[in-house]
Amino acid sequence: MNQFPSAAETDPVKMGWMVGSPPPPDKLISFQDGGVYQFPKTRWSFCNFRRMGPTTAVSRGLGQASPLLRTELAELDNVEFTPMGATQTITWGQAYDANYTDGVVVLHRGKIVYERYSGVMKPEGQHIAMSVTKSFFGLIGQMLVAEGALDESALVTHYVPELQNSAFADATIRQVLDMRTGLKYSENYADPQAEIWMHARAGGVLPRPPQYAGPQTFYEFLQTVQKEGQHGGNFAYKTVNTDVIGWVIRRVTGLSIGEVVSQRIWSKLGMEQDAYFTVDSAGNEFAGGGLSAGLRDMARFGEMLRNDGTWSGQQIIPPAVINDIRFNGDASAFPVQNFPTLGGWAYRNMWWVSNNAHGAYSARGIHGQAIYIDPKAEMVIARFGSHPVAANTHFDPTSLPAYHAVAQFLLKHR
Amino acid sequence: MNQFPSAAETDPVKMGWMVGSPPPPDKLISFQDGGVYQFPKTRWSFCNFRRMGPTTAVSRGLGQASPLLRTELAELDNVEFTPMGATQTITWGQAYDANYTDGVVVLHRGKIVYERYSGVMKPEGQHIAMSVTKSFFGLIGQMLVAEGALDESALVTHYVPELQNSAFADATIRQVLDMRTGLKYSENYADPQAEIWMHARAGGVLPRPPQYAGPQTFYEFLQTVQKEGQHGGNFAYKTVNTDVIGWVIRRVTGLSIGEVVSQRIWSKLGMEQDAYFTVDSAGNEFAGGGLSAGLRDMARFGEMLRNDGTWSGQQIIPPAVINDIRFNGDASAFPVQNFPTLGGWAYRNMWWVSNNAHGAYSARGIHGQAIYIDPKAEMVIARFGSHPVAANTHFDPTSLPAYHAVAQFLLKHR
């Protein structure tokens, strides 16, 4: 299926990463030498990101966890689907390893119908969500718009004047929330000169060379981003937009990102575990990709959204905010040539909206992390993965049709 | 009372540490410039150690927390005592600020009778316990002795041959557990050449100078420690002993320190929160001082010990292990000239044993962190502090008599 060793061959428990006192040199995973991002070490490090550098907690509070009821449907493993571009079907059970899944939870009408973990991942503990993080900030940004605390037509610099000499000087909040900005910022992971690496080094989430003299924090980096093209055009996926929204949210709320997520979401849903963010040297969280969380807690979050923002009878997110995500994306501004697996999709408030017959929408991370919400099937899938290739085109063919096939199965299972 | 600004003047909330987007330069607390250890920044950083570098979780598991019942006794604030060396009494309430307390919980017969927090400390969140950490490893070491997994008369090198060229080559497990070793290792915080700083730099818990070429991990450092004097003499407080015991525990159990503490303690007591350890570049936890935990969870731990190792009807620690701590310390080997506030005390399995009429014993940290167990008064005090001076002689005079006065009050309160 690909040129990499299989999920079984790269099981991080069998590989013995970081086991021993001390671990032998060939079993060490180091932040400083970049190993933390190298497959198959990633199959361990993505579950242990706090060991790589500074983090801050997203507190669940001290209340009891909300129970997730369970009616397991083992027959999900046999659900068949045809991967994109393939001629033969495979099953949900087979797709699990084909996608280098570290863990997956499927909720149907709020009950766990499927739950599976691999390698070092367990129900307790956190896995890095990477770009799934973005969807939390698009959501919170839209909440602030709905509350009137944030004017979506205002310029970013209305809130963050520090960005006046950057590309964001003439961008509106709405353009940034939907990533319809013209930025000289490459997210091509194959290009060592891509700005995403400068961004990551500034924030301390990539090691810095010995004589590093670049920006010291996320904020310093954001002020250096230059314009390329115009704002308001097509959707262009650039992580830096989320960190700008993070800055705006901090400025508008007066809180840190960890506090905002705790107050608005994490402390409201009976989460089982605290989550955490990687932070830069100024203690500021990486809004573009720094969240690590437990898998069931990600599922709780998705389930709250599926229920129009309610949880245990309490309105956590206004329905209008969720509807804005679901229905106000512009598929005509979605450059499908750049996203060949996402024909017909739109991007709104940092959520990926399928526009399929089920109205599915998703938060997506670059190694297969996902929250996938299928309103029609009353289904939520939370998934963590450590696919060897940082490119959705490598796992979408076996994950998106799999999610839809499970949704169709559950629809029939009523 | 001392030459430092008061607790009120150094309240970290009022000082605004790390608030702002980004925090202004004079409100930043940085690991790299050493600010994390500088009073009054410590009043913030001791509650936020995970923001300073890599950490690993001590999982509480996913069960419900065990409730701590509550019968608050506000009159404790008026309990009077005479500080050591003083002529006038002060009250428990006054001692709270005099000691730069960040939070304190008093349990009487397992119920919370007093609970108070200051500054950035809250019931949720963790405070660094520093040398209170050591008592966890002395306890676990003694558990392994009781289980027969560890021979207290064996040489350390029987378990860790890597220490054969160090001072520990001819030290027994018992000598290390009781810190009766002869080591060239100064813990004089006022001396920049003291080995404690080399130890801390090796483990990455102190910043390293740019051209640092010393040991890269705790393990590398431990192998460099040289002998001075003989083993088996008087108690000599040296943090390095605990990291050696940590290494032995890892070797004997095959687990990481975080896993050992989680499996044997943290997952067994209905803890409210995960705890965490600082880790070195090889991912190994700082046994000598790296634990951060919630205050109530520290109180739960103390209460389990007070109940002869039982919790909710389950035997967590054998009573013989606790009795070994309480009754097998050798007060004649305790050099009271080095501990003028601790006349009559002993040190056993990395616990401080008062030998007072109440049989009190304690885990103690260098800025006033403590778990203080008074069996006769059926009392446990858990306390976190950030006293400006890293020396127990500066706060013992207002803390030890205060603990005893509260114990006497509670005895009368039956």
The burial class, CB within 10 Å (0-12 / 13-18 / 19+), for B402 is buried
- pLDDT at position B392 is 86
Interface test with A, best of B21, B66, B124, B253 (most A CBs within 10 A): B21
pLDDT above 50 for A1:
no
User: Looking at the partner chain, which of B28, B56, B124 has a beta carbon nearest the beta carbon of A51?
Assistant: B56
**Over the stretch B205-241, which tens digit does the pLDDT of each residue have?**
999 988 899 999 999 999 999 999 999 999 999 999 9
Share of chain B above pLDDT 90, in %: 93
The residue among B117, B34, B58, B100 whose CA lies nearest residue B255 is: B58
Six-digit token pair at B59? 């999982």
pLDDT above 70 for A51:
yes
* Angstroms from A394 CA to nearest CA on chain B: 31
- Exposure on the CB side of residue B11, measured as CA atoms within 13 A: 8
Six-digit token pair at A345? 């999709």
User: Looking at the partner chain, which of B51, B250, B251 has a beta carbon nearest the beta carbon of A279?
Assistant: B51
CB contact under 8 A, A23 and B57: no
Residue A344's CB is within 10 A of a number of other CB atoms, namely 11
Contacts of A30 (CB under 8 A, 6+ apart): A36, B281
Nearest-by-CA chain A residue for B66: A64
For residue A226, the surrounding DSSP H or E stretch is strand A226-227
pLDDT above 70 for B6:
yes
What is the value of ipTM here, to two decimals?
A: 0.95
User: What residues of A are in the B interface, CB distance below 8 Å?
Assistant: 18, 21-23, 28-32, 48, 50-57, 59, 61-62, 64-65, 123-125, 217, 219, 247, 250-251, 256, 272-274, 276, 279, 281-284
- pLDDT at position B390 is 85
CB A309 within 8 A of CB A323: no
Chain B partners within 8 Å of A32 (Cβ): 281
In this prediction, residues B293-313 reach a mean pLDDT of 98
Instruction: Write the DSSP assignment of A39-101 as a string of letters.
Output: TTTHHHHTT-GGGGS-EEEE---SSPPPP--B---GGGGG-EE--TT-SS-EEHHHHHHHTTE
Averaged pLDDT of chain A: 96
CB A360 within 8 A of CB A378: no
- pLDDT at position A414 is 67
pLDDT above 50 for A262:
yes
Query: What distance in Å separates the CA atoms of residue A378 and residue A109, rounded to the nearest whole number?
Result: 5
pLDDT above 50 for A200:
yes
* Angstroms from B82 CA to nearest CA on chain A: 37
Which residue has 């390698």 as its token pair?
A: A119
**Over the stretch B143-199, which tens digit does the pLDDT of each residue have?**
999 999 999 999 999 999 999 999 999 999 999 999 999 999 999 888 889 999 999
Beta bridge partners of B105: B115, B382
Instruction: Set out the domains of chain A in order of their start, with CATH numbers.
Output: 12-53 (no CATH), 74-126+293-412 (3.40.710.10)
* Angstroms from B28 CA to nearest CA on chain A: 7
For residue B293, the surrounding DSSP H or E stretch is strand B291-293
CB contact under 8 A, A61 and B124: yes
Query: What distance in Å separates the CA atoms of residue A47 and residue A50, rounded to the nearest whole number?
Result: 9
User: Looking at the partner chain, which of B22, B53, B274 has a beta carbon nearest the beta carbon of A274?
Assistant: B274
Beta bridge partners of A106: A114, A381
Nearest-by-CA chain A residue for B271: A62
The residue among B287, B185, B144 whose CA lies nearest residue B154 is: B144
User: Coil, strand, or helix at residue A210?
Assistant: coil
CB contact under 8 A, A50 and B56: yes
Question: Max alpha carbon distance in chain A (Å)?
Answer: 62
* Angstroms from A70 CA to nearest CA on chain B: 16
Nearest-by-CA chain B residue for A125: B59
Chain B partners within 8 Å of A22 (Cβ): 217, 219, 282, 284
Question: Prior bond to A40 cis, omega within 30?
Answer: yes
Nearest-by-CA chain A residue for B24: A282
**Over the stretch A265-308, which tens digit does the pLDDT of each residue have?**
999 999 999 999 999 988 999 999 999 999 999 999 999 999 99
* Amino acid (1-letter code) at residue B286: F
User: What residues of B are in the A interface, CB distance below 8 Å?
Assistant: 18, 21-23, 28-32, 48, 50-57, 59, 61-62, 64-65, 123-125, 217, 219, 247, 250-251, 256, 272-274, 276, 279, 281-284
* Angstroms from A226 CA to nearest CA on chain B: 21
Query: What distance in Å separates the CA atoms of residue A7 and residue A21, rounded to the nearest whole number?
Result: 26
CB contact under 8 A, B54 and A50: yes
Contacts of A371 (CB under 8 A, 6+ apart): A132, A135, A298, A299, A301, A302, A362, A363, A380, A381, A382, A383
- pLDDT at position A18 is 95
Six-digit token pair at B125? 């969140």
For residue A104, the surrounding DSSP H or E stretch is strand A101-108
CB contact under 8 A, A21 and B54: no
Which residue has 């001590």 as its token pair?
A: B58
Six-digit token pair at B167? 């001072």
Beta bridge partners of A352: A347, A362
In this prediction, residues A189-206 reach a mean pLDDT of 91
**Over the stretch B48-92, which tens digit does the pLDDT of each residue have?**
999 999 999 999 999 999 999 999 999 999 999 999 999 999 999
Question: Prior bond to A388 cis, omega within 30?
Answer: no
Chain A partners within 8 Å of B263 (Cβ): none
User: Looking at the partner chain, which of B21, B272, B283 has a beta carbon nearest the beta carbon of A18?
Assistant: B283
CB contact under 8 A, A282 and B28: yes
